Every structure is written in structure tokens, then in C-alpha cells.
């Protein structure tokens, strides 16, 4: 499922039903600096969408990695942005079954990378998330990481985007990789706060204690989206829809009423996506 490559990356609209803002009842909405979850990720997800419309990035990264989704080993590509606005895209580099190394960018500033998950789901691992954050500390233009996978026979593409670099720094100070990441499982350390909340969200989802917009996700994607939001990481998780646009996944724990149940509210997950 990927260990995150330790060596080496107009989609949404704010406001309205479905963008997560209707759930933010306890947040300071009168604060002029406050942004809804969808407003916060609007620019970074627009960039993630736009990258894939660039011919070089589409042909040398997106098309190449989609063709390698079911390969035995993971493959990775890096993207640089040159001073003249053009992009440099590396040749794909092969790793092994569970991890790999993103190759160096040919030129420019490191802005994005992508890798496959060897026929497994495309949802990023905790390692993909943590190593991306660490890389961003030395590569300040790196805000986009694509992950390509197989969802029960269909190609799927996720993206991690950095919305707020200051929040990333604050998060890493509070929750460093060394105390929160399990290098064996490539997931969050079970004993950590992140690991406990990751498991909590997954159990709500696998147990059917949730309401959503009708989209099917893996429990891991719901767990990751929940952790990213709850711990104020400055990072968003989105999945590509049928039209080729990335839609942020928003997961809130609240009192919900399960459709078809007995009508009694219970604690669970309200899952939505940015439009």
C-alpha cells in the first residue's frame, strides 16, 4: 500500500450544501479569516486539476502511471516547474511491491509527484502523507501528491494537497512522524492519537454508522480524511470523479440518523464532498 517514498510533491467551490460548511456549527464563522473546508482547499485542488491538463504532465505522468497501476512494483514520477512557466517531468522510476523512491525533478522547483500502489487501492497511506509533509519543509513549492490505484477493477486516483503550509509545520511539531507512524504497517501508529482516530473513523464506516452523498469509499480513505480534518493538518484528501476533477472528502463526527434505521440519532460520520 505504499510507504510514502521517504527520499523524495477549477475543482471546488466554497459555500452551500455539500461543501462541509453546514456542519461547522461550532466554528468561528464570524471570523473574517475563517474558511469552510471547501474554501480552504479551493486553490490547491484547482492547481491539482490544472496540472493534469498540462500536456507534458498528462502524457509523462498521468498516462504513464495509469498504465502501471496493476504492475507488480510501484512506479513514481516527479514534476518540476521552470522559471518560464513550463514543467519538467521525470522518467518513471520503478520501486518494489510496497514502496519506492520518487526520482529527482529534471529542472525547476519541485511542485508535484505521483506514484502507483501496485494494483492496490489508490488511497494514500500514512507514509504517503507524512513523507509528503516532510518533503514540503525543504521544497516549499511542493503541494501536490497523486496516488494511482485499483478500486475493484477500476482505476482510481487520489490526491493529497497542502492547503496551508503554516498548519503543516504546526502539525509536524505536535505530531512528529517518529511518534505517529508505523514503518512496518505503513499506517498511523495504533497507540497514537492519530492512529486511534483513524481506527475510530474506519470502524464507523465499516459498521455502517454513517450518512453520505452516495459515493463509495474505502474505510482507509474515510479514516485518512477524518484525521486530516480533525487534527488541523493543513492538508486535504480528494478523489478524482468521473469527469476527471478532484473532489475533497469531508468527514465529520456528529449525531446522525441512519436511513432505514429506527430513527434514533446516534454518533457517527457525516460524509460529504466539495462540489
Report which secondary-structure segment, H or E, holds 173.
helix 165-174
164 CB-near residues (< 8 Å, 6+ apart)? 40, 234
pLDDT at 8 over 80: no
Which letter does DSSP use for residue 104 in this model?
A: P
**Tell me, what's the pLDDT at 28?**
53
For 38, half-sphere exposure in the C-beta direction (CA atoms, 13 angstrom radius) is 24
Stretch 217-237: mean pLDDT: 97
- pTM for this prediction: 0.88
- The whole-chain average pLDDT of the chain stands at 89
pLDDT at 180 over 80: yes
pLDDT-derived band at 58 (thresholds 50, 70, 90) equals very high
User: What's the gap between Cα 137 and its chain centre?
Assistant: 18
Bridge partners of 44, per DSSP, are none
**Tell me, what's the pLDDT at 35?**
84
pLDDT at 7 over 80: no
pLDDT at 16 over 90: no
Q: Which three cell numbers stand for residue 187?
A: 499506517
Stretch 193-206: mean pLDDT: 97
Alpha-carbon distances of 189 from 136, 178, 197, rounded to whole Å: 22, 9, 11
146 CB-near residues (< 8 Å, 6+ apart)? 9, 48, 61, 62, 65, 112, 113, 114, 115, 157, 158, 159
pLDDT at 24 over 50: no
Amino acid at each position: 500500500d505504499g510507504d510514502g517514498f521517504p527520499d523524495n510533491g477549477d475543482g471546488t467551490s466554497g459555500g452551500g450544501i455539500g461543501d462541509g460548511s453546514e456542519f461547522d456549527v461550532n466554528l468561528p464563522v464570524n471570523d473574517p479569516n475563517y474558511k469552510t473546508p471547501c474554501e480552504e482547499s479551493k486553490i490547491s485542488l484547482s492547481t491539482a486539476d490544472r496540472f493534469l491538463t498540462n500536456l507534458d504532465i498528462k502524457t509523462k505522468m498521468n498516462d504513464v502511471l495509469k498504465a502501471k497501476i496493476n504492475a507488480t512494483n510501484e512506479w513514481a514520477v516527479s514534476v518540476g516547474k521552470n522559471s518560464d512557466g513550463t514543467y519538467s517531468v521525470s522518467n518513471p522510476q520503478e520501486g518494489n511491491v510496497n514502496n519506492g523512491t520518487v526520482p529527482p525533478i529534471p529542472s525547476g522547483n519541485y511542485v508535484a509527484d505521483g506514484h502507483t500502489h501496485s494494483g492496490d487501492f489508490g488511497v494514500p497511506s500514512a507514509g504517503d502523507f507524512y513523507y509528503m509533509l516532510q518533503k514540503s519543509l525543504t521544497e516549499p513549492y511542493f503541494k501536490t501528491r497523486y496516488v494511482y490505484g485499483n478500486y475493484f477493477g477500476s482505476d482510481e486516483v487520489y490526491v493529497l494537497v497542502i492547503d496551508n503550509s503554516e498548519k503543516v509545520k504546526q502539525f509536524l511539531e505536535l505530531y512528529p512522524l517518529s511518534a505517529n507512524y508505523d514503518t512496518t504497517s505503513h499506517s498511523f501508529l495504533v497507540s497514537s492519537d492519530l492512529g486511534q482516530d483513524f481506527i475510530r473513523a474506519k470502524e464507523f464506516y465499516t459498521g455502517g454508522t454513517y450518512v453520505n452523498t452516495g459515493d463509495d469509499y474505502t474505510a482507509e480513505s474515510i479514516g485518512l480524511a477524518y484525521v486530516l480534518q480533525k487534527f488541523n493538518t493543513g492538508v486535504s484528501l480528494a478523489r478524482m470523479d468521473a469527469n476527471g476533477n478532484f473532489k475533497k472528502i469531508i468527514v465529520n463526527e456528529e449525531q446522525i440518523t441512519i436511513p432505514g434505521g429506527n430513527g434514533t440519532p446516534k454518533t457517527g460520520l457525516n460524509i460529504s464532498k466539495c462540489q
